Amino acid sequence: MLATVSALMLLLLAPGPTNTLLFRAGGLFGFRASWTLVFIECLAYVLQVSVWGVALLYLAAYSPWAVKLIQLAAGTYLLVVSWRLWRSAKTSDGVTQDRFTGGYFFWMTVMNPKGLLIASLIAPPDTFTHWTGYLSFMCTLALVVVPVGSAWIVFGVGVVGRGRQWLTPRVINRTAALAIGCFASVLLGRLATSILN
């Protein structure tokens, strides 16, 4: 159990698209307006890991290329998100015009490749074959996602709350765009390498 929790924390604490958006939301809108995103993130991860866990049981045996195609779609989607964030930074510095919806954040998290890593590398072997194992792991996942997501929002609030005048919505958007774009590029680069080898 301790090894599973530690692995989940290390993976979920790592900067990525979801954490970048949580940080951005905390910095732009504050904790009170952003805390519900943590529960949206939790729901998205539970859904994504559940689907991946079941799918991997079949894809690994019958269609290994399907996994590659799904990873390619996820990486491409993240590049599109990065491009949209960069463009929104050009059009406006107004906070009210830059709020993203809970649905957008949900699907962004569903597309996060961390769910695949959780399902394939961290989840115990009996997670997707027995209900008791499944419920136990999903409760553990939720108990890690909520505090980690909250920490990223608080981090965003803290950075902006120190009176850094240069940290405008434009700067936050472009930083988020670069972080997500780099994450997607690394993912696609590794995917291309694995396909060519």
Q: List pLDDT tens digits, range 91-141.
A: 444 443 445 678 889 988 888 888 888 888 888 888 998 899 999 999 999
Q: What percent of the chain is predicted at pLDDT more than 70?
A: 87
In the predicted model, is pLDDT for residue 27 greater than 90? no
pLDDT digits (tens, 9 = 90+) for 35-65: 999 999 999 999 999 999 988 877 867 777 7
C-alpha distances in Å from residue 56, one per residue of 15, 73, 121, 165: 25, 16, 11, 47
Separation between Cα atoms, residue 41 and residue 187, nearest integer Å: 21
Separation between Cα atoms, residue 141 and residue 76, nearest integer Å: 26
Question: To 10 degrees, what angle do helices 17-29 and 36-62 make?
Answer: 170
